[in-house]
Structure 1
């Protein structure tokens, strides 16, 4: 039995061209693509930590599906947003949580 292969140019699941967006993270512009979560934009920019615990331990994405709370950020003034669940919107203002000891 042979599988049928659809030519790439006819594949309806083929991704469209990226639509760029820019968010501001602690005052710095960070670019990503429409459809990415805030965590995806941050990871794509090389940022792996953006929150600290009460004792100063760094946190970023752990589960990636919204079960844990390691990826919490402030988005447009709203605290405790899970970065792995929130899709980034062009112009979002994101702030790390946990104080100035957080590292990017």
Structure 2
């Protein structure tokens, strides 16, 4: 998930809810956000508890985010320069 050799992959920028964050091309969005200290990606609608990276292999779907208007898993989405990521708004039910 995280690029092992920092010098082999260029540093780029991604945007989370408009906030500019550094990342490495090719790493997962989840790894980039975690490396920047962002651990919570959404709030559970029923219990209002923070949700974020859990399994990091696409099974749990706790790292659900929006990219280009589509719901995607941060752990399965690769960083590209200028990627715009948004947190998923509350829907009233866990998704």
CA RMSD after TM alignment: 1.6
**Matched length:** 85
TM-score after normalising by structure 2: 0.81
Q: Which has the higher strand share?
A: 2
Which of residues 72, 75, 83 is equivalent to 1:84?
A: 75
| Higher share of residues assigned helix | 2
Could you list the runs of 5+ residues in structure 2 that have no partner in the other structure?
91-95
- Structure 1: unaligned runs, 5 residues or longer: 1-13, 100-104
- Decide which structure has the larger Cα Rg and report it: 1
The answer to which of 36-45 and 51-60 deviates more is: 51-60
Runs of 4+ in 1 over 3 A off after TM superposition: none
TM-score where L is the length of structure 1: 0.75
